[in-house]
Each structure stands twice: as C-alpha cells, then as structure tokens.
Amino acid sequence: MGLVRRDMLLMALTTVYLCTPCSPAIRAEDLAGVVKKAVEKSTLDQPGTKPFHLKATYAPSFERDAESHRNGDVEIWWESPTLWRREVRSPEFHQIEIVDGAHEWQKNEGAYFPEWLRELAVAIVRPIPLPLDVLIQRVKAADVRHLAGQTNINWDPVNGPGDAQRNGNGYVAVMDRTGQLLYTGGPGWSGQYKDFRDFHGRMVAYTVSSGYVEVTAKVSSLEDLNGVPSGFFDTSAQGGDPQPIETVVLDEAELRTNLQPGGAPFVWPPVADGPFEGVVWTAVVIDRTGQIREMIPPVADNPGVKEAADQGFRSMQFKPILRNGVPVQALGKLTVSFKTTRPAGMETFDTARNYFEQGRKASFLSAGATAPYVLHAEFQVGTPGGVQTGRYEDTWISETEWRREAWLGSSHLARSQSGEQNYVLAEGSDAGLLRLVMMIMEPLPAADTMTESDWRIRRDVVDGTNAIRVFRGPEGPNGELEPGKSQGFWFDENGHLVSSYTQGLEIRPSDAEVYGGVQVARKIDVLKDGKTGMRISVTEINPPAAVDAKSFKLKGHEWQRAFTSEVR
C-alpha cells in the first residue's frame, strides 16, 4: 500500500486542532497575578509613571475600510492620573480635553464623539479601564483556555453594585512566553497590542488596534514631558463647551427604559436551515439626541435572520439619556428573540447537534457501549524511509474512567479521565501525529464546541449509500467542500457515520462489525488529495481484564480542556 508521507498529514493538523492539549491547568490565584503584572506593566496613565508626551496616528487596519474616514491622530500630555490633556482628531470630529482633579474642560468640533475613536484613544494608554481589584475578581471566576502559546481568559456578566462596564462580560489574552497582553475587551473597551517597548519600566505597545471596523494606531513618539506652556492644563480657560461630551455604558434594561414607542417591527423571513427559534443581539452607541450612531452587525443564532434584525434594530429610536440632567452618549447591548420556519415545501431535517449525537452513539464505543471494553488497533503512515506502524489502545470502563494511548516509534500520547479530572501525557517528536490518530478514531465535534447555525444539512450519496450530509463552510459548484475551509460529516439512514471531511482530510470508515450494540469500523482510511495517507485497522475488541483505577491517573499531567472539539 502506497501512503502519503506523514508531513503532508501534519500540515492539516495545525488547523484540525485549535488547542495545545498539554497546557497545564493554572490556579486562579496564580493567573490573577499574571494578569495583574501584565496590566500594571502595560498601563501608562497610572500612579508612578514618569510624565510623558505621546503622539500616535491611526488608520483603518484593512484596505477594504480605506473609505471609512477613520484616519487621524491622538496626542496626550500627561503629568499624573489627575492632570492631563488629550487631543484627538479625525475628519469628522476634533476634541481637546483637559482634566485637573475633579475639573474637566472640553472643546469639541462635532456633536458626536465616535465610540471607536474614544475606545482607541483610551486603549493606547490604558488597556483595561477597570479598577484592578475588580479585574482580579473577574479573572479568578473566569473561564481559562490555552491556545498556541497564549492564555485566554473570559468572564461572564455579574449582578451586583457598579456600572455595566464593570459588571459586563470581558476577556483578556496574555502571551505565555513574555507575559505581555495580546488583546483585551469588554463593554466600552477593547484593544490588540503589539510592538512593546520600554518607557521608564513600562512596556508600552507601540501598535494598538481596536474596533469591529478595525483601526490601528501607531505611536510615533513617546518622550518625557518637558516645557509645557503656562496655562496648558487650565480647566478654567475661556472657550470651552458648556456641556462636555460624556459616554456611559448601560445594561440592556436601562437602555430599554429610554426606548421610544414605534419603530419598524421585526419581520423574520423563512430560512432554509435551522435553528428556527433563537436570539439575535447587537451593540449600539447612541448620541446625545437618542439616535443610533454606531452598531455592530447583528449576531444571530441563525445567520439567515441577520439582515431582518439589522433593519429592526436600526429603526429603534431613543429618548436622550441623561446623567444629572445632562444628555450623554451611551452604549449597550440589545437582544431580541426570533421565530421562523423553512420555506413552504422544503424538506425538514433534524438538528446538526442531534445528528452528531446519534452518530456518536451508533458508531463509537465510547458513546454507545453498554459494558466496559478494551480496543486495540494498528495504524500505518508513510515516512521518508518507508511505511511505519504504530499502535492505538482504548480502555473504557465508564464515561468518567477511561484511557486512550497511541505509540509510534519513540513517541507516545496518552489521554485519560478519572472522575472529573482529565490528563494528557505527550512524549516524542511524533506526538502531534498521534493527536491526529486520536481525532480520526473519534472525529465528531463535541456538542459544547459547535454552534448550530454554522451547520447546513442536505441529502447526499456516498459510494452508493444514501446519506445525510451535515457540513459547514463553502462548497463548490458541484457541492464539493473546500479544503482548509469546510468540514462535513455523512450519516446513513440508521445514523452511522459513513464518511467525514476535515481540513482537506477525508476519513472513510469501513468493514463495520457490531460490538455491544455499536457498529464499529474495523478499518479507517485517511485520504489527502485523493491519496491514502494513513490506514487504521482495529485488531481486537474484548472485555477488559482487571483494571487498576490508578492507571487512569497520570500524576503531573493534569489537563484542563480548552478550545478542543474532541469529546475525549
């Protein structure tokens, strides 16, 4: 049997997997310390920073947004957290702002301060505008995941005292190697950071990007503050605006209290694929007159209703939002529910989630087994020196007591679970290939990593077998899936997996035999560009002999599942 070399298979591996499975779990206290250090190191406008003068220019990050008029500059003169001056310029807005203690002075050319510009100007000197104690509490309760050398931290909204900016959801990513911030975001703040340079002990990002229409600021000058003219920080100077522009972050309930009656109703169109009930949301920025001035494209459980949602949201009118009797700009989230159907006469399918779960139980022992088992398999893969044979073993006692292992040459990969704790042990240069073997053995995505609206369903034929195709991503004129961008799974009328396609790899199970009520493939071929790249042969399946419960615990190799679509 001629085999495609393993390096060609491994080219797909970087996109098949989104996580580093060997990333260790990090204690909340340790992680909070990492984030605290990163924020303190990268924040310019904080006590202890040497007074500075900063200049930056900004422009759209991508050529497609070149006509968005998001070009200009930001200049900051900073003496202390309570004494500073900032000037922002854009084609449609210009502001000079001075802060001296509790006193503020503004001169604005333009009635609306674009929120994308405000957030960018803040992000340049303050990556996370939350109080540090609030940030630390959020990080300790956050969901932590590891991806390609970075730690990603996400937290959900909380109820309690404080404004919507403090209590909203948020995220932070820190580079593991350097401990520096990569990106941050939450209600009213966001940024991506690169090109760090030292300024008197602060590591300052000289390239900062922000916004859903992304704009990138580049710091052209950061120097010590010297020679400030007399009156430069004078908040009692003549010519200031009587009502400075202020922007507040509101929760949805408060935002809706200012919603005016009327507006166009939400009319939901029929859609070809589900889900047919769900939620669609957006974030809006409202000016001081109550008009929506900025809105992100709606995010819907079904993309087919996004255009209708966009029209409905944009028709909303608000009363001016007041703070101490003065109109302010406001931003917040809006959510609506939708309910729709398929067009008349169109065939109805089950959900993608159900096809996956039915296929998992029908085709894989780890999901459908009614009794413990041990499965042994061999696999062959092409190498520069010829065909090399590896081994795979799966010992399953229950959903919370199992161990999977694969070996190739001197490389070894083991995954296991004991109770609520997961473990991963990876050794040798071919550990990545062994990860691919484990994915091939159980390729269906986990329910908690899939979004129903991403998937489409239709009838198809595979080698003469009538099948249901569940897929996502682009397809060609003849229905072919696009390598590197599309993913598909085919199930027969009994729910058994008959084929799958991921990142250009076609996985073909065959020679099925029933064991414990599950139709187990005894042979699995993996094809790359139509050529066989790997063959896996299941050699035996038996009830396990006496199993030591300790064998499921890999001490020192505890693992926290993150960003992986694998169930096990």
Q: Which amino acid is at 114?
A: P
- How far is Cα 198 from Cα 34, in angstroms, rounded to an integer? 19
User: pLDDT at position 16, please?
Assistant: 42
Could you tell me which residues are beta bridge partners of residue 378?
391, 537
Q: Are 520 and 511 in contact (CB under 8 A)?
A: no
CB 562 within 8 A of CB 386: no
| 241 token code pair | 């605006």
- From CA 568, how far away is CA 565, in angstroms rounded? 9
Query: Global pTM?
Result: 0.73
| Of 458, 448, 487, 449, the residue nearest 471 (C-alpha) | 487
The vertex-314 CA angle with 312 and 319, nearest 5°, equals 110
CATH topology of domain 247-339: TolA/TonB C-terminal domain (3.30.2420)
Note the pLDDT of residue 11.
52
* Sign of the alpha-carbon dihedral angle for 554, 558, 564, 568: positive
Q: Which tokens go with 251?
A: 């929760």
Task: Give per-residue pLDDT as tens, 100-116.
Answer: 999 999 999 999 999 99
d(CA 433, CA 534): 11
Per-residue b/e over 257-272, b at no fewer than 16 CB within 10 Å? ebeeeeeeebebeebe
The radius of gyration of the chain's CA atoms, rounded to the nearest angstrom, is: 28
Q: Are 240 and 106 in contact (CB under 8 A)?
A: yes
Token pair in block for residue 507 = 């996985």
CA–CA–CA angle 192, 197, 203 (5° rounding): 70
Residue 538, both tokens: 């299941």
Give the Cα separation of 438 and 443 in Å (integer).
8
Query: Taking phi first (over 0 means left), then psi (-120 to 50 degrees means alpha), and beta for anything else, what does residue 483 get?
Result: beta
3-state secondary structure of 134: helix
Question: By the 8 A CB rule, do 239 and 98 touch?
Answer: no
Please tell me the CATH code under which domain 6-14+352-559 is placed: 2.50.20
Give the residue from 34, 61, 177 showing the smallest Cα distance to 120: 61
Of 392, 391, 402, 414, residue with least CA distance to 369:
402
* Exposed/middle/buried for residue 478 (C-beta within 10 Å: 0-12, 13-18, 19+): exposed
Residue 420, classified by CB atoms within 10 Å of its CB into exposed (0-12), middle (13-18) or buried (19+), is exposed
- pLDDT, residue 562, reads 63
User: Could you give the angle at the alpha carbon of 304 between the alpha carbons of 300 and 305, nearest 5°?
Assistant: 60
**How many alpha carbons lie under 13 Å from residue 492 in its C-beta half-sphere?**
13
Count of beta carbons in the 10 Å neighbourhood of residue 44: 19
- Residues of the chain falling short of pLDDT 70: 1-29, 384, 562-563
Q: What pLDDT, on a 0 to 100 scale, did the predictor assign at position 143?
A: 87
CATH 2.50.20 assigned to 43-129+190-244: yes
Using the structure block, give the residue that is written with the tokens 């040497």.
50
Question: Which residues have C-beta within 8 Å of that of residue 42, sequence separation ≥ 6?
Answer: 127, 180, 181, 193, 196, 202, 203, 204, 205
Contacts with 283 (C-beta within 8 Å, 6 or more apart), sequence order: 295, 296, 331, 332, 333, 334
User: Do 6-14+352-559 and 43-129+190-244 share a fold?
Assistant: yes
Query: Where along the chain do its domains lie?
Result: 6-14+352-559, 43-129+190-244, 247-339
Length of the chain: 568
Q: Which two tokens stand for residue 51?
A: 């007074």
